[in-house]
Chains A and B, each alone.
Chain A
Amino acid sequence: MKLNINNKHYEIPDSYKEKRLVEYLRDDLDLTGAKNACDMAACGACAVLVNNEVIKICHAHLKDVEGKNITTIEGMANPDGTLHPLQQSFVDAGAIQCGFCTPGMVLTAHALLLKNSKPTRLEIRKALIGNLCRCTGYQQIIDAIEMASKYY
């Protein structure tokens, strides 16, 4: 089966189809940005984008994403290695404490902004309901997304 991850093509043996995406990305490809924090699709720490939709990969298998385009946090930065404006906003707004939820937060926010480039604070709250953060109290995450929206 074929897969596109962060604009790179992968040929994957069919025997991998039943493998969980979280293990494939983290263990086989060493893309460890996505975290496994609950293993039950309830916290969003493992979120990646599949065709720009948010998917919690602790509950997804390779067969579920066959032929699709996957963006992980490692694929967010600009090609020249500088931070994507959304990443920069997370840094500037102080939206990061322990950082364990951050990759999932950034990608979920990215998916929102791709669809709705000028979300209200209420719309931001709605879109991120599936991402838990125990450190920040979320306020600065909302600030960061609002800050970044002018770049979308």
Chain B
Amino acid sequence: MQEHESAILHCTGEAVFINDMPVSENLLIGHVIYSKHAHAKILEIDFSDAVKLKGVHSILSYKEIPGINQMGPIIHDELCMVENEVTSIGQAILLIAADSKEIAIEAEKLIEIKYEPLEAILSIESAIEKYNLLAPKRKIERGNLQKGFEDSAHIIEGTLKTGAQEHWYLETQICLCIPGEGNEIKAYSSTQHPSETQAIIAEVLGISSKDVEVEVKRIGGAFGGKETEANHIAAWCALLCNATKRPVKIHLFRDDDQIITGKRHRFLSKYKVGFNDEGIINAYSVELNSDAGSATDLSMAILERAMLHADNSYFIPNIKIIGRAYKTNMPSNVAMRGFGGPQAIAVIETAIDKIARYLKMDSAEIRYKNFYKIENNNISPYGQCIENNRLFILFDKLIKSSDYIKRREEINEFNKSNEFYKKGMAITPVKFGISFTTSFLNQAGALVNIYKDGTVLVNHGGTEMGQGLNTKILKITSKELGIKLVKIKVNATNTSKIPNTSATAASSGSDLNGMAVKNAIETIKSRLSEFVVDEFRKKYEGICSKKHNIKFENNFVYDIKIPERKISFNELISNAYLNQISLSSTGYYKTPNIGFDREKGQGKPFHYFAYGMAVSEVIVDTLTGYNKILRTDILHDAGDTLNKGIDKGQVIGGFIQGTGWVTTEDIKWDSDGHLLNHSPDTYKIPTIQDIPEDFRIELLEGYPNENTIRKSKAVGEPPLMLAFSVWLAIKDAISAVGNHEFEPDFSLPATNEVILLSIEKIRKLQKEPA
């Protein structure tokens, strides 16, 4: 197994994150004074005393912004700094640059801000009540819904609430800006989207992109939380740097980070499902309502991905999917791993779970019956054909390897003989569309340099945040050039090397950047092959070598038809240089044949689908709500994996992050919108104790993915949704309290409190006379 490219540096402590960078003595520390009210008018700001404090170098308000006061990534509806009114907690009002954090905090104490609180919308329910839409509703539909329901023997309706989630990257948001000559500025930012960070810095400073350089070496975790949020920190940092003409660093405290930044969108969804006696779904309507927070950010794209995943893995002939994003006075919610997909999949999985209980069947059977089929019933509601369907193969293999049927019986036995402990189990699938649904974003660039000594430096537009992108890029380069990994280095991502990149997001980092790197290498290889054919012609008698027969392998370049004709890679490179052959090339890639018509809700938004499946078994203490995952089996489809260790790591990490969202990660706000749990003590991400005791992860082997980089598949986001197996296993255990005769009340996350309330309700129902 090829290790993570920075693994050794990480475990010796040598790996440099932004906060570890040595900076000159005159570094200033930036500090953000942010809104403490969800919605208020600003009556007065007085920082006259603060600015006099020794060690304070600058205090800025929106008035000092030299460029445009905006940092909305797509729609310009998000101020960089508040003007007269705050519309959520966490919005920047003032920026301080001081000699130290301590001085900045002292200065903050001397600042007075007077607010006049205004009415605030703090929940999705009240936003719906006020119909405070962010943008017109969206719709995808197919078939005849009304007739679909009429033809259904049974109908179930319901509402599902899914909670927010804090990214909790270990490295909080950070940016370091260094002033250059004239207008120039260089930002080291923990951003997933360097090009956008560059553009926004340029806009707020009123300068052009050519004068702004953004560099990202590595990020200490991101998960979507640094796709747009990092721009904010960078813009604030750049303003202070520009005002003081000194290096400035902003590194958020953990609690400030949690308070200021947006979360995974909360959803309140309504659904209605019609099915027959067999459990086959004939009609499904779902309304997905999301809490966008105070600005648009990526909310519409997130809503769109939710809508495109309302079907998860199931063919539904008559279907209507409505999506509405609501504006509230919460910090603007942002991308998070899964990007809306999880919120919609939770709804259809709930519907299926209810169908099973209603028909007294195993939910695994209902799922299987409704899967997209191979030959027919394989068109999604938005018109894309579900190609290379792996659902059946995953299901068959996993049911066997997890011993599902036998364990189901054992669980039933256990539940019969235990009053206070109940076990539950569930198998859930995921089908996840790969590509940005905004089609033009599916492009990437690369720059490959080969030096005279035969070593190679690769630049690409993706960011390394732990997911192993650079390790995969190294492998791609090594395979394509036929040289050893030690001769290759991947450079820090830098906007001056690769312009106009898309965010490293949508699981597509390796797909897009890997292809761009490959294309750059192909250009150089084509030049070198031409040159080598010429060299061989001079050196060898007889028929000429053909360019397309030249192969790069094992540090040599040779003619596959006449293998004696060969030259070492190093020798070729130095000869090529002497013969004035360019050893550097850019590469570019765009995903072919995709497109989606938002108005019609039809098209082919995805290049392909990634699939996965999981079975989880849990035990629940029905007196406390305490629960534990006893065993999880995962089988995941990564195509021909680019790196088994890394892909397995993504599967495990994604699954556990999903498990946190569906169980313990309960974000609470008070009635004024203040975040109550802004520390790891109160906001519970999974610890090492929370992972399954018996945890078996396999990648599906022997199913290459055509038309992608080395036949691989994206793997960043899909496994997160496998955590529904845990969530529904908990529900199954709760349901066992009432012998599966009553439908448990359930929501997401299933905290101990939710579990206990649900059990209590079932116990009450049991006591009621039928």
Residues of A within 8 A of B (CB): 26, 30-40, 42-43, 45, 72-74, 76-77, 83, 87, 90-92, 94, 96-103, 106, 124-126, 128-129, 131-142
**In the complex, per-residue mask of B6-36: 1 if CB is within 8 Å of any chain A CB, else 0:** 1111111111110110100000000000000
Q: Which of A32, A42, A97, A106 has the most CB of B within 10 A?
A: A97
B689 located at the interface, meaning its Cβ lies under 8 Å from any Cβ of chain A in the complex: yes
Contact A91 B7 (CB under 8 A): yes
Nearest opposing residue in chain A for B650, CB measure: A97
Q: How far is the CB of A57 from chain B (nearest CB, A)?
A: 13
Given contacts A32-B13, A38-B254, A90-B11, contact A134 B695 (CB under 8 A): no
Nearest opposing residue in chain B for A40, CB measure: B679
Given contacts A94-B4, A135-B221, A142-B688, contact A42 B13 (CB under 8 A): no
Report how far A92 CA is from B649 CA in the complex, Å: 12
Q: How far is the CB of B261 from chain A (nearest CB, A)?
A: 14
Q: How far is the CB of A130 from chain B (nearest CB, A)?
A: 8
| Segment touching A, from B461-469, B731-739, B758-766 | B461-469
Given contacts A43-B680, A98-B170, contact A35 B691 (CB under 8 A): no
Given contacts A128-B688, A132-B680, contact A98 B219 (CB under 8 A): yes
Contact B685 A132 (CB under 8 A): yes
Interface hits, B193-228 → A, CB 8 Å: 218-221, 223
Q: How far is the CB of A109 from chain B (nearest CB, A)?
A: 11
Q: Which residues of A contact B689 (CB under 8 A)?
A: 125-126, 129
Nearest opposing residue in chain B for A127, CB measure: B688
Nearest opposing residue in chain A for B16, CB measure: A32
Contact B12 A100 (CB under 8 A): no
Q: How far is the CB of B475 from chain A (nearest CB, A)?
A: 14
Report how far A141 CA is from B12 CA in the complex, Å: 16
Contact B11 A106 (CB under 8 A): yes
Nearest opposing residue in chain B for A73, CB measure: B13
B1 located at the interface, meaning its Cβ lies under 8 Å from any Cβ of chain A in the complex: yes
Q: Which residues of A contact B691 (CB under 8 A)?
A: 125, 137-139
Contact A134 B4 (CB under 8 A): no
Contact A139 B657 (CB under 8 A): no
Nearest opposing residue in chain A for B223, CB measure: A134
Residue of B20, B655, B685 touching A134 (CB-CB under 8 A) = B685
Nearest opposing residue in chain B for A72, CB measure: B13
Residue of B218, B254, B467 touching A37 (CB-CB under 8 A) = B254
Q: How far is the CB of A127 from chain B (nearest CB, A)?
A: 9
Contact A139 B697 (CB under 8 A): yes
Given contacts A94-B645, A129-B689, A139-B652, contact A99 B10 (CB under 8 A): yes
Contact B646 A129 (CB under 8 A): no
Report how far A67 CA is from B205 CA in the complex, Å: 51
Report how far A87 CA is from B8 CA in the complex, Å: 8
B73 located at the interface, meaning its Cβ lies under 8 Å from any Cβ of chain A in the complex: no
Q: Which residues of A contact B15 (CB under 8 A)?
A: 99
Given contacts A40-B681, A98-B465, contact A103 B171 (CB under 8 A): no
A-B contact pairs, 12 of them (CB 8 A): A35-B170, A83-B8, A83-B12, A91-B3, A96-B6, A97-B467, A100-B466, A102-B10, A103-B10, A134-B169, A134-B685, A135-B170
B656 located at the interface, meaning its Cβ lies under 8 Å from any Cβ of chain A in the complex: yes
B417 located at the interface, meaning its Cβ lies under 8 Å from any Cβ of chain A in the complex: no
Contact B20 A32 (CB under 8 A): yes
Q: Which residues of B contact A32 (CB under 8 A)?
A: 13, 16, 19-20
Report how far A38 CA is from B680 CA in the complex, Å: 8
Q: What 7 pairs between A and B have smallest CB-CB spacing?
A: A33-B13, A98-B466, A99-B10, A137-B656, A100-B220, A97-B466, A73-B13
Nearest opposing residue in chain A for B220, CB measure: A100
Contact B16 A129 (CB under 8 A): no
Q: Which residues of A contact B653 (CB under 8 A)?
A: 97, 134-137
Q: Which residues of A contact B577 (CB under 8 A)?
A: none
B168 located at the interface, meaning its Cβ lies under 8 Å from any Cβ of chain A in the complex: yes
Contact A39 B254 (CB under 8 A): yes
Q: Which residues of A contact B468 (CB under 8 A)?
A: 97
Residue of A31, A101, A139 touching B170 (CB-CB under 8 A) = A101
Report how far A133 CA is from B695 CA in the complex, Å: 17
Contact A103 B11 (CB under 8 A): yes
Q: Which residues of B contact A42 (CB under 8 A)?
A: 679-681
Q: How far is the CB of A48 from chain B (nearest CB, A)?
A: 10
B172 located at the interface, meaning its Cβ lies under 8 Å from any Cβ of chain A in the complex: yes
Contact A132 B687 (CB under 8 A): yes
Report how far A92 CA is from B685 CA in the complex, Å: 26
Contact B648 A129 (CB under 8 A): no
B440 located at the interface, meaning its Cβ lies under 8 Å from any Cβ of chain A in the complex: no
Report how far A42 CA is from B680 CA in the complex, Å: 6
How many cross-chain pairs have Cβ atoms below 8 Å apart between A and B? 173
Report how far A100 CA is from B169 CA in the complex, Å: 9
Contact A30 B22 (CB under 8 A): yes
Q: Which residues of A contact B657 (CB under 8 A)?
A: 134, 137
Residue of B12, B20, B648, B654 touching A94 (CB-CB under 8 A) = B648
Given contacts A35-B170, A132-B687, contact A139 B695 (CB under 8 A): yes
Q: Which residues of A contact B16 (CB under 8 A)?
A: 32
B253 located at the interface, meaning its Cβ lies under 8 Å from any Cβ of chain A in the complex: yes
Q: How far is the CB of B573 from chain A (nearest CB, A)?
A: 30
Q: Which residues of A contact B688 (CB under 8 A)?
A: 124-125, 128-129, 131, 133, 138, 141-142
Q: How far is the CB of B599 from chain A (nearest CB, A)?
A: 38
Nearest opposing residue in chain A for B653, CB measure: A137
Report how far A36 CA is from B12 CA in the complex, Å: 16
Give 14 A-B pairs besides A73-B13, A140-B645 with Cβ atoms closer than 8 angstroms: A35-B220, A40-B680, A73-B12, A83-B8, A83-B11, A99-B11, A99-B218, A132-B170, A132-B687, A134-B223, A135-B466, A136-B653, A138-B686, A142-B688
Nearest opposing residue in chain A for B697, CB measure: A139
Q: Which residues of B contact A76 (CB under 8 A)?
A: 11-13
Residue of A33, A87, A100 touching B221 (CB-CB under 8 A) = A100
Q: How far is the CB of B438 from chain A (nearest CB, A)?
A: 27
Report how far A29 CA is from B8 CA in the complex, Å: 21
**In the complex, per-residue mask of B137-176: 1 if CB is within 8 Å of any chain A CB, else 0:** 0000000000000000000000000000001111110000
Contact B13 A90 (CB under 8 A): no
Q: Which residues of A contact B654 (CB under 8 A)?
A: 137
Q: Which of B17, B468, B645, B653 has the most CB of A within 10 A?
A: B653
Contact B220 A99 (CB under 8 A): yes
Contact B646 A94 (CB under 8 A): yes
Nearest opposing residue in chain A for B467, CB measure: A97
Given contacts A98-B221, A126-B689, contact A137 B652 (CB under 8 A): yes
Report how far A23 CA is from B22 CA in the complex, Å: 14
Nearest opposing residue in chain A for B651, CB measure: A137
Contact A43 B12 (CB under 8 A): no
Q: Which residues of B contact A34 (CB under 8 A)?
A: 13
Q: Which residues of A contact B170 (CB under 8 A)?
A: 35, 37, 43, 45, 98, 100-101, 132-135
Contact A99 B6 (CB under 8 A): yes
Q: How far is the CB of A134 from chain B (nearest CB, A)?
A: 5
Q: Which residues of A contact B19 (CB under 8 A)?
A: 32, 35-36
Q: How far is the CB of A85 from chain B (nearest CB, A)?
A: 11
Q: Which residues of B contact A26 (CB under 8 A)?
A: 20
Q: Which residues of B contact A94 (CB under 8 A)?
A: 1, 3-4, 645-646, 648-649
Q: Which residues of B contact A131 (CB under 8 A)?
A: 688
Report how far A137 CA is from B167 CA in the complex, Å: 14
Q: Which residues of B contact A124 (CB under 8 A)?
A: 688
Q: Which residues of B contact A129 (CB under 8 A)?
A: 687-689
Contact A91 B11 (CB under 8 A): yes
Q: How far is the CB of A19 from chain B (nearest CB, A)?
A: 12
Report how far A142 CA is from B697 CA in the complex, Å: 14
Report how far A33 CA is from B1 CA in the complex, Å: 26
Interface hits, B664-705 → A, CB 8 Å: 679-681, 685-689, 691, 695, 697
Q: How far is the CB of B259 from chain A (nearest CB, A)?
A: 14
Report how far A147 CA is from B10 CA in the complex, Å: 18
**In the complex, per-residue mask of B539-577: 1 if CB is within 8 Å of any chain A CB, else 0:** 000000000000000000000000000000000000000
Q: Which of A26, A126, A135, A141 has the most CB of B within 10 A?
A: A135
Report how far A138 CA is from B685 CA in the complex, Å: 12
Report how far A141 CA is from B11 CA in the complex, Å: 12
